[in-house]
Chains A and B, each alone.
Chain A
Amino acid sequence: MKRRGNDVTTWLLGLPGLLWLLALFVVPTLLVVLIAFKPSDLYGGTQAGWTVAAWGKLWSPGFGRILLRTLGLALLTTLLCLVPSVPCAYFLARQPPQRRNLWLLLVILPFWTSLLVRVLAWKVLLHPEGFFKKVLVWLYLVDANAVLLYNTPTVLLVQVYAFLPFALLPIYAAAEKVDFTLMEAARDLGAGPAAAFFRIFVPAVAGGIWGAVAMVFIPALGSYVIPDLVGGPSSELIGNKIAQRTFTDRNLPLAAALATCLMLAVLPPMLLALGRRRGNREGLY
């Protein structure tokens, strides 16, 4: 009886969140999928009836390449965000509390400026006459004629810059809870500092790392502003294609089909990872 009462309360408490998800996530997602099966009209809307015409257009040779590039770039962005974030989270967690807050403030500081402004700032820095470019030329690190903008590596650089805090924060949240006597125990049992870091600290923040992967990989897949601003025609991602189909071509069904494709590419691995983690957690208790 008691359990049942608890269940009802749980449902009631969860209800606002569930309704929110239903109205603003599930229904729009289904709409996107439905629109992908509609014929387009000349004015950017959809016509009555059903068709798979949009899906047929996906088989253009360029699309596969863009899908692969998007996946590759998102993976690379995630990896490059994780590599500095894990040691950085370790460093932060070992700071005395007052100083830790100062460091955290520095991490969050960029959020006070709009992402758009920050990406445009990169454009200024990397501009042929920009500060960054000039410094690099002066240091003989790049050729004076080198182009630092409108290519894929630049998109990667700016994406890593933009998503780094999203990787750091979940890992830091996990690192803060780590019992550092575990590190001492590892050292005591003969592990050097590096071995203790990789064998004890990294597994201890695994949850945070998975969180960081989700926080970076998914937005990176749908990234649109960054490649649009600092990328060139050779570094277009699915996000750009979807925007072009929507705003330029006014072909909503094709845009919807692309979006569905992207979703299908992300969803299964994410669900798999989630299931695996839940399985692990149950194993603990």
Chain B
Amino acid sequence: MFSEIDKSFGDLAALTNVSLAVKEGEIFSLLGPSGCGKTTLLRLAAGFLFPDRGRITLGGRDITSDPPEKRALNTIFQNYALFPHMSVRQNISFGPRTAGWPADRIRRETERLLALVQLETAADKKPQQLSGGQKQRVALARALILEPKVLLLDEPFAALDLKLRQRMLTELERLQREVGITFVFVTHDQFEAMSISDRIAVMRGGRIEQLGTPKAIYETPANRFVCSFIGDSNLLTGSRRGDGRAMDVAGLGVVVLPTQATRDEAVLAVRPEQVQLSLAAPVDGDNVFRGCILDRVYLGSHTRYTVDLGVLHLQAQLPAGSSLTALAVGDQAFVHWRAQDGTLLPDGDGGVP
């Protein structure tokens, strides 16, 4: 869909050599911190911006220089951008009216979309009279009525509260299954991206850091940035030892690696939920260290501990109901994790933000 895109604003390079192919019918997310270029990429796709270099294609057709009205894709704007002087029904029928569909087809399709997003009773209201969730459904219906090949969604849930956000996510997934349109999401919220996407592109500084399924990105992050942006991670840096199946971590000792390190400097990521805590030294276990509980945060479904290992702190997470939840700040405990639960990051690139 995108190939070798460059885009700069003045001296600021917003995108550098980005190539990306979204598959038909999938839910694809562009995920990254603000300023990473994800919105720029979306606006390039919609046609509100034009690339300095590179091509954008849609279903094999080059649309790089087409204006937005000529592109078979529609956008859900972050603030929904509903036309304030039109009713819900007029908003939804704007596209068909502009395209000059016959009147009875406009009426039929508008009613169908109103039913799809369950807004029949609000059809004659003005956008100002609607709640956030309703506004978003109007925006959806307005975009879907033109049956675009791709629906672009720019942080569509940013303005909604958590409960509504979860409901809209489910609803959106249902809609996507019903209409079978490709969805391209822009979001900075990893949970949103993880829960809905077939594939995710993690972006930073105008580049794609990693592209893959949510599972692949979470379990085998490409670098430190992706690892720390998606979920929490303990990052251990050390120097390779012997055959590369272990590394020396300054002040801590030998850490067994899941795979063979290929370079002298190795970075190991361990998710907090992989780190075990125990009062007595475990009988077996590859990586066992003794430390002192520094902090304890109760989060309902689980409890997060920060363990002081002397030179560094390690995060560990225990599920609710664990027998160890009585551990208090100041207690001595052992931390350990199985070698295969860690992830050796392929490169040391990417400073942690």
| Segment with Cβ contacts to A, from B31-39, B75-83, B189-197, B236-244 | B75-83
| CB under 8 Å from chain A, chain B span 128-149 | 128-129, 142-143, 146
List the interface of chain B (C-beta within 8 A of A).
Answer: 46-48, 67-69, 74-75, 77, 79, 81-85, 94-95, 98-99, 126, 128-129, 142-143, 146
Structural contact, A189 and B126, CB atoms closer than 8 A? no
Q: Answer whether residue A130 sits at the interface, using C-beta atoms and an 8 A cutoff.
A: no
Please, which residues of chain A bring their CB within 8 A of the CB of B47? 187-188
Shortest CB distance A198–B (Å): 11
Shortest CB distance A146–B (Å): 46
A181 contacts which of B69, B81, B94, B95 (Cβ < 8 Å)? Answer: B81
Structural contact, B98 and A184, CB atoms closer than 8 A? no
A78 to B217 alpha-carbon distance, docked (Å)? 63
B77 contacts which of A181, A204, A285 (Cβ < 8 Å)? Answer: A181
A113 to B293 alpha-carbon distance, docked (Å)? 78
Q: Supply 4 further A-B pairs (C-beta < 8 A) apart from A187-B48, A200-B83, A284-B84.
A: A187-B67, A189-B98, A206-B85, A284-B126
A204 to B81 alpha-carbon distance, docked (Å)? 13
Structural contact, B69 and A185, CB atoms closer than 8 A? no
Chain A binding surface SS class: helix
A285 to B129 alpha-carbon distance, docked (Å)? 7
Please, which residues of chain B bring their CB within 8 A of the CB of A28? none
Interface centre among B79, B98, B99 (most CB of A within 10 A): B98
Structural contact, B48 and A184, CB atoms closer than 8 A? yes
Shortest 4 CB-CB contacts between residues of A and residues of B: A185-B81, A189-B95, A187-B68, A181-B81
Please, which residues of chain A bring their CB within 8 A of the CB of B75? 184-185, 188
| Given A184-B48, A185-B75, A185-B77, CB of A190 within 8 Å of CB of B85 | no
Query: Which of chain B's residues has its CB closest to A191's CB?
Result: B98
Structural contact, B85 and A204, CB atoms closer than 8 A? yes
A187 to B75 alpha-carbon distance, docked (Å)? 10
A179 to B128 alpha-carbon distance, docked (Å)? 14
Structural contact, A188 and B79, CB atoms closer than 8 A? no
Structural contact, B68 and A184, CB atoms closer than 8 A? yes
Please, which residues of chain A bring their CB within 8 A of the CB of B146? 189-190
Please, which residues of chain B bring their CB within 8 A of the CB of A182? 81, 83-84
Query: Which of chain B's residues has its CB closest to A192's CB?
Result: B69
